Amino acid sequence: MNNLVSFYKTVEQFADDHNMINQFLMLGSEQDLESIVFDYRTLVLIPSSSNISRDLSRPIYTLSFDCALIDRCPTDDTLAAITSIEENIFVVGQFQDYLIQVDENCYIDEVDITRVMEDDENITTAFFNLTVSFSRKNYNVGIDNQ
């Protein structure tokens, strides 16, 4: 399963190189989001489900991630919040384009936008699902049961 390690490094490289992303996190569950202190514009990936298939003699496995792009902006500035939402959507689109350019077989589902107003700042978030397909060996692999 070296494909997942390679995919993680690809996403990490995207986040590190992108001028609009300050932080990248891979979390174990959505509950972990509650205990994290976020930097400005943070990309979060949470592995959520997988599917293994040999349909049509095409052995693959897919892995789905619940993803979030989270940003902060001043509470009293509506224009800043709108700009933050627009930038989140822009970065999600660039993320998809980047993955396609590096030949990842993936798609991004619908993007849900939220804005939470807190006492001293607004939190804007673009939630989306990312599904990535990885190829498997074309033959039935021996079972490691020794």
For 120-146, how does the pLDDT look when each residue is reduced to its tens digit (9 = 90+)?
A: 888 999 999 999 988 766 655 555 665
For 84-129, how does the pLDDT look when each residue is reduced to its tens digit (9 = 90+)?
A: 999 999 999 999 999 999 988 888 989 999 988 877 888 999 999 9
Interval 17-25 mean pLDDT: 95
| φ, ψ dihedrals at 124, nearest 5° | -105, 140
Query: In order of start, what are the domains of the chain with their CATH numbers?
Result: 2-135 (3.30.70.1700)
Distance in angstroms (rounded) separating the CA atoms of residues 41 and 23: 7
| φ, ψ dihedrals at 67, nearest 5° | -125, 155
For 65-82, how does the pLDDT look when each residue is reduced to its tens digit (9 = 90+)?
A: 999 999 998 888 889 989
pTM, two decimals, is: 0.84
Beta-bridge mates of residue 134 = 61
pLDDT for position 77: 85
- Taking CA atoms, 72 is separated from 7, 10, 87, 89, in Å, by 27, 25, 12, 14
pLDDT for position 17: 96
What average pLDDT does the structure give for the chain? 86
